[in-house]
């Protein structure tokens, strides 16, 4: 691909930024949170209804049964600080083991590394055992012919996760091996009668914060498809019924109480507004439950709403609003810093 001259590319980027700034100014008038009618939510001090009790009991029974049937694979486990590993070089005979022993026990440091003879410090935290085996084979290849490396986790000590929200025993949990989302909900005593229809996992990944939204009913009915392994540092959160959740290219993603009869644009304003630089304004989605079934996806074009060409839909309790991110804008935003051009602030 032909590379653009630096000055020509810079001019194109500046024109793009001016266009994005104009869009930001147009949309700025749409993000003020208006006064609306209060939505009658169940009081936190009022006792749960019989229907809520019955639903929570059935859901927790299904989750407990799923926890017995499903288990996390050690292949999916990501190594963490304080884990104790056994490293085996299978093609080093015991009788010939010298500077390079056949088996080595090593604990992952707080910095996420292990220290091995010949190799020194090797990054380990965040890798699966098989990924670490592959990395070690590449490093030992300088000293051994066709090295065969095995990694076995002897002691799981580094996995800590937080479970909060509408669970019976929220807190920080120290795990002793690979776990799944169903395992974590069971360890937290199950959900309360006030729980909504979803559970969220917030994770800090290589590219920043990542969120996963899982349907609780679908998780209980078909854990083989919906259940997922958890990782050290994950924050599992069960919102209360009557909340709405916003994620994606917004300034303040998270769960919010539906205290007013919000429209979509008003709900986005509560979450700080869509990030005009990164958001794909043509592709928003609202996930909504209907009669206890799995969530339906409602596609929304925010550009048409802001232009008055489409109706601004009302938000319902337990709605999940996802503002998708434009890959082109994301790459442009990342590249701006490398050429010294100012970025456009998000609304």
**Full-model pTM:** 0.66
d(CA 257, CA 321): 14
Stretch 146-171: mean pLDDT: 90
How do residues 288-303 score in pLDDT, each as one tens digit? 877 555 678 899 999 9
Chain centre distance of CA 9:
34
Q: Which of 70-74, 88-92, 142-146, 281-285 has the lowest mean pLDDT?
A: 70-74
How do residues 135-148 score in pLDDT, each as one tens digit? 999 999 988 888 89
d(CA 144, CA 14): 53
List phi, psi (to 5°) of 12: -65, -40
| 156, 169 contact by CB (below 8 A) | no
* pLDDT beyond 80 at 48: no
The CATH number assigned to the domain with range 45-73+157-241 reads 3.10.560.10
* pLDDT beyond 60 at 90: yes
Identify the three-state secondary structure at position 68.
Answer: helix
* Helical axes 6-28 vs 327-339, angle rounded to 10°: 120
Which of 15-29, 118-132, 285-299 has maximum average pLDDT?
118-132
State residue 98's pLDDT score: 60
State residue 338's pLDDT score: 40
262 versus 280: the higher-pLDDT residue is: 262
Q: 15-41+243-347 belongs to which CATH class?
A: alpha beta
Q: Name the fold adopted by 78-155.
A: wza like fold (3.30.1950)
State residue 96's pLDDT score: 58
Which of 65-74, 241-250, 272-281 has maximum average pLDDT?
241-250
List phi, psi (to 5°) of 259: -80, -15
Stretch 9-21: mean pLDDT: 35
| Strand pairing category for 320-325 and 243-248 | parallel
Count Cβ atoms within 10 A of the Cβ of residue 84 and give its class: 0-12 exposed, 13-18 middle, 19 or more buried.
Answer: middle
| 185, 201 contact by CB (below 8 A) | no
Stretch 315-335: mean pLDDT: 72
Q: Which of 96-105, 126-135, 306-315 has the lowest mean pLDDT?
A: 96-105
Instruction: Classify residue 120 as left (phi > 0), alpha (psi -120 to 50) or beta.
Output: left
State residue 22's pLDDT score: 32
State residue 99's pLDDT score: 60
* pLDDT beyond 70 at 346: no
| 198, 318 contact by CB (below 8 A) | yes
How do residues 328-338 score in pLDDT, each as one tens digit? 655 554 444 34
**Cβ-proximal residues to 55 (8 Å cutoff; 6+ apart), any chain:** 193
Domain with CATH 3.10.560.10 in the chain: 15-41+243-347, 45-73+157-241
Domain with CATH 3.30.1950.10 in the chain: 78-155
Of the candidates 76, 96, 249, the residue with the CA atom closest to the CA atom of residue 179: 76
* pLDDT beyond 70 at 37: no
């Amino acid at each position: 691909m032909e590379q653009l001259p630096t000055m020509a590319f810079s001019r194109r980027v500046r024109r793009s930024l001016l266009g994005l700034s104009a869009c930001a100014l147009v949309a700025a008038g749409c993000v003020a949170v208006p006064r609306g009618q209060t939505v009658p939510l169940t009081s936190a001090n009022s006792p749960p209804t019989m229907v809520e009790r019955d639903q929570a009991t059935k859901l927790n029974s299904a989750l407990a049964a799923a926890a017995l049937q499903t288990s996390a694979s050690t292949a999916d486990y990501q190594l963490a600080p304080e884990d104790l590993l056994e490293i085996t070089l299978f093609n080093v005979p015991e009788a010939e083991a010298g500077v390079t022993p056949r088996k080595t026990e090593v604990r992952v440091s707080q910095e996420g590394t292990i220290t091995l003879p010949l190799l020194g410090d090797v990054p380990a935290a965040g890798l699966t055992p098989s990924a670490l085996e592959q990395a070690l084979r590449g490093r030992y290849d300088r000293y051994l012919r066709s090295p065969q490396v095995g990694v076995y986790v002897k002691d799981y000590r580094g996995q800590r996760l937080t479970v909060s929200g509408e669970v019976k025993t929220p807190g920080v949990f120290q795990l002793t091996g690979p776990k799944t989302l169903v395992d974590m909900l069971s360890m937290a005593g199950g959900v309360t009668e006030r729980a909504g229809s979803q559970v969220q996992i917030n994770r800090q990944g290589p590219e920043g914060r990542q969120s996963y939204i899982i349907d609780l009913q679908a998780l209980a009915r078909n854990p083989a498809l919906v259940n997922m392994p958890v990782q050290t540092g994950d924050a599992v959160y069960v919102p209360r019924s009557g909340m709405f959740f916003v994620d994606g290219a917004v300034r303040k993603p998270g769960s919010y109480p539906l205290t007013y009869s919000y429209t979509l644009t008003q709900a986005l304003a509560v979450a700080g507004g869509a990030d005009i630089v990164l958001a794909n304004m043509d592709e928003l989605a609202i996930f909504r439950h209907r009669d206890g079934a799995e969530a339906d996806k409602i596609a929304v074009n925010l550009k048409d709403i802001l232009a008055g060409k489409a109706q601004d839909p009302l938000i319902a309790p337990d709605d999940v609003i996802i503002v998708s991110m434009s890959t082109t804008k994301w790459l442009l935003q990342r590249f701006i810093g490398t050429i010294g051009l100012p970025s456009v602030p998000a609304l």
